[in-house]
Structure 1
Amino acid sequence: MLPKELAELTGVSVRTLHHYDKIGLLTPQKDDENGYRHYSEQEVDKLQQILFFKELDFPLKKIKQILDDPSFDKSVALSLQYRLLTEKKKQIETMLKTLDQTIKNEKGEITMTNEEKFTGFDFSTNPYEEEAKKLWGDKAVEQANANINKMTNKEKLTIKESFDAEFRSLAAIRTLHPASDEAQLRMDHFFHYLNDNHGNIYSLEAFRGLGEMYVADERFTKNIDQFGDGLALFLKEAMKVYAEKN
């Protein structure tokens, strides 16, 4: 399918398709004979995934990270997208009701309380992002644990001592602002340290998901905070900044 044909089919402009190609999000095939670019059925399906993610307010950078992740499961993603778009539909319906009530309030037909004026608004964290962290973040942790379980007792002791030293080093900067240059420089070291010791299994999204788990899972929090009170929370915030910036 040619770019123009795909644009007409989906409503996505040719210019947008060119942008997706430029950033490596959706790359068409090139015909060696005539030089034309065309999209295969697989790429058409991938565009559908991209548009579902966009409808759930995911930025393009994060969409690319998720689709490029080796652990990405399309069937799981589709199920989640269906559920979350259904929830979004309910939220929109609630907001429409609030809007209708507001119109009546303006006409003097009813009187709304301040609480009622904001019914349906939700500025919390993107729900799909939380699900993605569980899917792609947790899987990286499981893979890391599997790699450790293959080690001998001596190798396990060596890596434990190495990790303890790493967390002691991180604890020393936990009072810094998570977005500070020094903190982010340490996050860059930590990101590569984890991948060097676990076989390059952490994508940026998985790295961020790991940081979320440091706070969400009490076992992680307890083990990490033994190196310094508040270290788990600091790492969560600093790892989030690092993943978003890179």
Structure 2
Amino acid sequence: MNDTTRSTARSTALIVGASRTLGLGLAAELLRRDWDVIGTVRGTRRTGLHDLADASGGRLTVETLEMTDPQQIAALRDRLASRTLDLLFVNAAITRGDLPIGEVPTDMFTEVMVTNALSPMRVVDVIGPLVAPDGTIGVMSSDQGSIAQNTHGGQDLYRASKSALNQLMRCHAAREADGARTLLLMDPGWVRTELGGPEAELSVEESVPGVAETIERHRGKGELHFVDHLGQVVPW
């Protein structure tokens, strides 16, 4: 694809973890903003993303990915090898309850860290090269990953996993310091999802437009940014 073609074509986003809530909302918002979207789901069960794809006029395609399986990540990269992405955004996280860290079983610790920190970075490392040199790579982080803002404790394992994700993105940014890609750690705010709970301040519909706007405003800036859905800097 030559420069003229790229300048007139729609931007293309790959959203890893787009079957529901924030990921699904971001896919819908980017479609509204005239992006083409590739979204991933786990397994073969029909999801809201499939319904969105059916209504998209071919602008949304659905791929299957179990993000914790390195072979599936490599296979997705191979299937998309002919595409150039303007945005790779990894939206994935789990929590297993609010336990003091000393009470967390080893298998639970491993599961959360693999899902929330290691696997997103595997996606970034393996699929990131498909992103255009001036494109954006983002991962869904949280203000709970901020060490500076942790004044009340709680959610020890989830917080630690998001802090680990932030640190690993910092490592990635250092390795890619000569590149022009923009790297984003995105805090969507406290959102009413299965993860955020029913008492959270924001609905998905209130959070996602700000997430998309922040992504678009940081396009072409380069370097690593830890920001929230309002575009404000989150302290490390």
Smaller-chain TM-score bracket: under 0.3
**Structure that is richer in helix per residue:** 1
The structure with higher relative contact order (CA 8 Å, sep 6+) is: 2
Q: Which has the larger radius of gyration?
A: 1
TM-score (normalised: structure 2) = 0.23
TM-score (normalised: structure 1) = 0.22
